[in-house]
């Protein structure tokens, strides 16, 4: 099973890029973030023509998450994160696909900090950790995947000294991610590539992509019961260089049967 996460940064404006990548990469399950579209504007028919069934949790202009599958219809189990301090924001969607439970998420950015956006990020992280603990305790095979808006360690950011005050890298956020992983989750990409320089996001300005001045903020976390099935992981970084592409690249893993 090939599983991917991709922050599309506007699903309708970047639909040709998404469809091209789906045709080339052929992932079985995909989590999308930053749809930036209400539910009525989700391109269901175009994705169906590409071979994918979908569920989505949209929001006009901001946020929004979706799960796509070409191995059977997603069976939705949860819409919205339990305990979300602002449930009007569309940031979490959960479904069973192919015998695996997928939690697709778009964690708040948190900037500027200090301030209410940063406090919301920390509260959202707390709610995610509480729910994630119940998923681990269930013993079910679970993949938590999406844009976490966290660089877990200095190796996950180009020139970390420039990011010391940013809400994606301050100690409180990195500690929250570490506590989440410590529940028993496996950071799939880093697990298979412990020493590699890996980025999933490059800003649009200052020629960041060409200079490889990136961040690793898109993650796939595996519960203990499914982690032994991990056999491959990577980033389709070339997609970031396509015309009209998102500032993120798709991140993927492969699981054995």
The HSE-up count of residue 109 (CA atoms within 13 Å, CB side) is 8
pLDDT confidence of residue 126: 98
Q: Give the Cα separation of 24 and 16 in Å (integer).
A: 12
Task: Produce one character per residue of 4-25: b if its CB has 16 or more CB atoms within 10 Å, e if not.
Answer: bbbbbbbbeebbebbbebbeee
Taking only the tens place, the pLDDT of each residue in 125-139 is 999 999 999 999 999
Q: Give the Cα separation of 229 and 257 in Å (integer).
A: 7
pLDDT confidence of residue 129: 98
Report how far apart, in Å, the C-alpha atoms of 97 and of each of 1, 19, 77 are.
Answer: 11, 21, 10
Q: Which residues of the chain have pLDDT under 70?
A: none
- Record the tokens describing residue 37, joined without a space: 């579209």
Total count of residues recorded for the chain: 257
Residues whose CB is less than 8 angstroms from the CB of residue 61 and which lie 6 or more positions away in sequence, other chains included: 36
């Amino acid at each position: 099973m090939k599983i991917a996460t991709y922050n599309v940064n506007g699903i309708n404006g970047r639909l040709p890029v998404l469809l091209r990548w789906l045709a080339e990469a052929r992932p079985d399950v995909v989590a999308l973030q930053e749809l930036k579209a209400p539910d009525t504007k989700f391109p269901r028919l175009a994705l169906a023509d590409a071979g994918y069934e979908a569920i989505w949790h949209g929001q006009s202009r901001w946020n929004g998450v979706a799960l796509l599958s070409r191995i059977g219809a997603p069976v939705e189990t949860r819409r919205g994160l339990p305990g979300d301090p602002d449930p009007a924001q569309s940031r979490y969607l959960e479904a069973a696909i192919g015998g695996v439970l997928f939690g697709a998420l778009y964690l708040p950015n948190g900037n500027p900090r200090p301030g209410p956006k940063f406090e919301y990020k920390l509260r959202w992280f707390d709610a995610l950790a509480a729910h994630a603990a119940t998923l681990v305790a269930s013993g079910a095979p679970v993949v938590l995947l999406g844009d976490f808006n966290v660089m877990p360690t200095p190796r996950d950011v180009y020139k970390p000294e420039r990011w010391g005050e940013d809400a994606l890298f301050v100690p409180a956020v990195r500690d929250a991610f570490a506590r989440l992983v410590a529940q028993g989750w496996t950071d799939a990409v880093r697990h298979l590539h412990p020493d590699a320089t890996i980025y999933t996001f490059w800003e649009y300005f200052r020629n960041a992509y060409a200079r490889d001045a990136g961040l690793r903020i898109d993650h796939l976390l595996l519960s203990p019961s499914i982690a032994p099935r991990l056999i491959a992981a990577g980033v389709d970084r070339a997609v970031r260089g396509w015309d009209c592409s998102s500032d993120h690249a798709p991140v993927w893993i492969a699981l054995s049967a």
